[in-house]
């Protein structure tokens, strides 16, 4: 029995070793990977400019709004520093910050009436979406804080590279795209029976460290969550997210 067991073990080990040999990295890929590693290790971390976004949707008329002055007056764009420590991160996700975006939504809604469907404060640029013909009244809106940050090894700190605050209808996707197609994304949020949210983001920035692709996750109301944690072109990049409903501040 033991002999038989040893035989099968040896056969299995031999198969695994052959498999490992066959799956070895090719010389070409190895050379490319080595180059990527060395570039990433030696490269300084540049500071990326913000993304300029314009909405371009056939069904939803989006306005790049001139009420930036109003926004500034209410202190909404207080996240204007590109450098932020974890302490600053906590401040960004704080109750007062959440209240500010709710206040912005409230004031902007008052200006546009019930036609206003969604709002995005994308790194300081305010985009508004107006309802299409098929929009329904009295829908619930959900609030999202999004933050992209990268690790600066020189200063041993996280550096915020982009922030976005979005108000969108629950269960309805909100899409945006820049006019030059350099940046695009979509958000969709729905509630679960237990009160948590299912959030589906698709985002792409070409000027930032190139993040592209879907981010699907579940989130508790008000919880600041790291929803993406990747090494992109040698830069350690994180996407953080916070979601809540207006009628249940955390």
Partner 1 sequence: MILESIDEELIQSHRSGDNAATALLVQRHLARVRNFVFQLVLNHETANELTQEVFVNVLRSINGFRGESTFETWLHRVALNAAYKFLQRERRYQKFLDDDLKQRDTATSLRPDARLLEAEQQVRITKALGTLNPELRAAIVLTAIQGMSAIEAAELEGCPVGTIYWRIHEARRLLQTELKDWIE
Instruction: Note the residues at the interface with partner 1 (CB under 8 A).
Output: 8-9, 11-13, 15-17, 19-20, 22-25, 29-30, 33-34, 36-38, 40-42, 153, 229-231, 234, 236
Kind of pairing, strands 235-245 and 225-232?
Answer: antiparallel
Q: Would you say 139 or 152 has its CB closer to partner 1?
A: 152
Tokens of 133: 């013909």
Q: Alpha helix (H) ranges present in the chain?
A: 2-22, 27-42, 68-73, 86-92, 95-112
* Minimum distance from residue 163 beta carbon to partner 1 (Å): 23
Q: Would you say 46 or 132 has its CB closer to partner 1?
A: 46
* Minimum distance from residue 241 beta carbon to partner 1 (Å): 15
* Minimum distance from residue 202 beta carbon to partner 1 (Å): 16
* Minimum distance from residue 41 beta carbon to partner 1 (Å): 5
Task: Tell me the C-alpha to C-alpha distance, in Å, between residue 138 and each of 99, 102, 113, 118, 144.
Answer: 21, 16, 12, 13, 19
Q: Would you say 72 or 231 has its CB closer to partner 1?
A: 231
- Residue 74 near residue 150 (C-beta atoms within 8 A): no
Query: Reduced to 3 states, what is the DSSP secondary structure of residue 162?
Result: strand
- Residue 92 near residue 145 (C-beta atoms within 8 A): yes
Q: Would you say 24 or 248 has its CB closer to partner 1?
A: 24
Query: How would you class 54 by CB atoms within 10 Å of its CB: exposed for 0-12, middle for 13-18, buried for 19 or more?
Result: middle
* Minimum distance from residue 162 beta carbon to partner 1 (Å): 21
Q: Would you say 38 or 90 has its CB closer to partner 1?
A: 38
* Minimum distance from residue 208 beta carbon to partner 1 (Å): 18
Kind of pairing, strands 225-232 and 125-130?
Answer: unpaired
Q: Would you say 36 or 94 has its CB closer to partner 1?
A: 36
Kind and range of the H or E run holding 151: strand 141-152
């Amino acid at each position: 029995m033991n002999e038989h067991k040893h035989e099968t073990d040896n056969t299995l080990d031999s198969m695994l070793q052959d498999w490992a040999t066959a799956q070895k990295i090719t010389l070409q890929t190895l050379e490319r990977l080595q180059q990527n590693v060395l570039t990433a290790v030696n490269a300084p971390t540049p500071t990326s400019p913000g993304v300029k976004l314009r909405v371009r949707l056939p069904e939803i008329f989006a306005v790049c709004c001139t009420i930036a002055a109003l926004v500034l007056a209410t202190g909404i764009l207080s996240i204007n520093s590109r450098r932020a420590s974890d302490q600053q991160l906590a401040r960004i996700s704080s109750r007062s910050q959440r209240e500010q975006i709710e206040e912005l939504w409230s004031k902007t809604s008052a200006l546009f009436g019930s036609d206003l469907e969604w709002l995005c404060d994308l790194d300081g640029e305010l985009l508004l979406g107006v309802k299409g013909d098929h929009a329904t009244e009295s829908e619930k809106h959900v609030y999202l804080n999004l933050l992209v940050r990268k690790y600066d090894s020189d200063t041993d700190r996280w550096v915020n590279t982009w922030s976005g605050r979005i108000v969108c209808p629950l269960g309805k996707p909100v899409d945006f795209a820049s006019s030059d197609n350099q940046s695009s994304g979509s958000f969709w949020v729905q509630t679960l029976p237990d009160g948590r949210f299912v959030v589906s983001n698709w985002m792409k920035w070409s000027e930032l460290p190139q993040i592209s692709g879907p981010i699907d996750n579940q989130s508790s109301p008000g919880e600041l969550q790291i929803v993406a944690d990747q090494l992109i072109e040698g830069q350690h990049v994180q996407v953080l997210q916070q979601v809540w409903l207006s009628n249940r501040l955390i």
